[in-house]
Structure 1
Amino acid sequence: MTAQSPKRRVITFGTFDLFHIGHLNILKRARALGTELYVGLSSDELNMAKKGRNPIYDYEHRKQILESLRCVDQVFKEESLELKVDYVKQFQADVLTMGADWEGKFDFCKPYCEVIYLPRTPSISTTELIEIIREI
């Protein structure tokens, strides 16, 4: 009989609006870093504060999409950018992972967990999709 591997909890954050292949890729890669994946989903209010616009899909719809993915174990509401360390502690995360476009911006969490920046899927972003839709 082999000993069971210890749980390794991974946490990530995002808006995940207009869900696309880039979102799926980064979530699958995040999950591959551990045994559980916790996703902090930006509230509609937080999205407005950080991006200056409401998401296309409201929080509940985005949450349902994320909860339907096999690679996601739990979705929780992220209500403040300043609470990253609190969320890491609350979910006892061993790893915090974000897209490489955030490189260095979450290093303040390193005293509490490992921080890993993952490469993004080339040539796709929600912002670009919204711009293309607006042009049409």
Structure 2
Amino acid sequence: MTYELLGGALIGFAASLLWIGIGRISGMTGVVSSLFMWRDKTRHWAIWFLAGLVLASPVYFGLGGEAPVTMTDNQLLLVVAGLLVGFGTYIGNGCTSGHGVCGMGRLSVRSTVATVTFIVAGVVTVAVMNALGGAA
């Protein structure tokens, strides 16, 4: 079994467990917004969910996992990309994890349109970056 298949299965399991267990969608926009509602006792799940996401990487690398993908050192590009992702998440009513994993799993038309839009935008971005000589 490849790491990608295992990772996908774990994401699907976590999303299903959260949906079946407490009726919450595991999109990161919802998880992060729940962190700001700490006084609501029904939102404490978000800190544990986020902790699992943060701890997954060190555990993976601690067990000898590798990440062959490299990112750019261009700080301006990273900041602009982060702002664009945040803006897109705001106007798209959610992020790729919420729409792609959870929304499409519930057969949501809105999430399907959003996911197709994400994919097309990603393909266009890669094509433009490659035409410009890459991000590095």
TM normalised by structure 1 equals: 0.28
Give the structure with the higher percent strand: 1
Greater percentage in helix? 2
Larger radius of gyration: 2
Superposition TM-score, scaled by structure 2 size:
0.28
